[in-house]
Amino acid sequence: MRKALTGAALLAALTIIAAGCGGGDEPSGTATPAEPATTAAPAESATTAAQETGGTTVAVANSKLGDILVDGDGRTLYVFTKDQGDQSACSGPCVDNWPALVGDATAGTGVQASMLSTSMQASGDAQVTYGGKLLYYFAGDAKPGDTNGQGVGSVWYALTADGNLVKQKAAGAYP
């Protein structure tokens, strides 16, 4: 019972935090194109050994959403529809909840190497892109295979191997 209450409290807190990076008319958690995007250290729950060394493998894995992009550890990768081209619009609290995939990346199983690249951000970090879309983690994904960030704020989505947004909502995902 105590675990269930703790889990429910964590879910509620992350839902409130994630809403700050959502799709309302206010720029909450985002930068306007004239402001430089900033990058902070990834949230602890989304940190992987590959992130710490500045590189990872991007691959395709089967999930509740179908075949989607993941990192070398199987963690779901997301795109932010408010990004301006290859420049991140995620700043402030958004960065804590949606850490960027930065550094060098190699194409793993199912990934088209020609679609994998990096884009230099205002922070000086090289953020990994796929099909020209910047890639992020979601701090609310506790383990490989989680897709809790799918559809958050109607602006955060997983990506297919073809570089298309997955628009279906994940069961049990954050609003």
The pLDDT of residue 145 is: 95
| Coil/strand/helix, residue 107 | strand
Higher pLDDT, 153 or 22: 153
End-to-end CA distance of the chain: 24
Distant-in-sequence, close-in-space partners of 2: CB < 8 Å, separation ≥ 6: none
- Region 6-29: what's the mean pLDDT? 41
In this structure, are residues 100 and 135 in contact, taking their beta carbons and an 8 Å threshold? yes
**pLDDT tens digits along 45-62:** 333 333 444 569 999 999
Measured CA to CA, the distance from residue 2 to residue 17 in angstroms comes to 23
Q: What DSSP designation does 45 have?
A: G
The pLDDT of residue 10 is: 39
The pLDDT of residue 76 is: 98
The pLDDT of residue 172 is: 53
Is 87's pLDDT higher than 60? yes
Indicate the pLDDT class of residue 168, thresholds 50, 70 and 90: confident
- Region 74-98: what's the mean pLDDT? 96
- 59: enclosing H helix or E strand: strand 55-63
**pLDDT tens digits along 104-152:** 999 999 999 999 999 999 989 999 999 999 999 999 999 999 999 999 9
Max CA separation in the chain (angstroms): 49
The pLDDT of residue 137 is: 98
**Partners of residue 159 on adjacent β-strands:** 165
The pLDDT of residue 144 is: 96
Is 7's pLDDT higher than 90? no
The pLDDT of residue 68 is: 98
Token pair 């089967």 is found at: 62
Higher pLDDT, 25 or 169: 169
Number of helical (H) and strand (E) elements in the chain, helices listed first: 3, 8
Per-chain mean pLDDT for the chain: 77
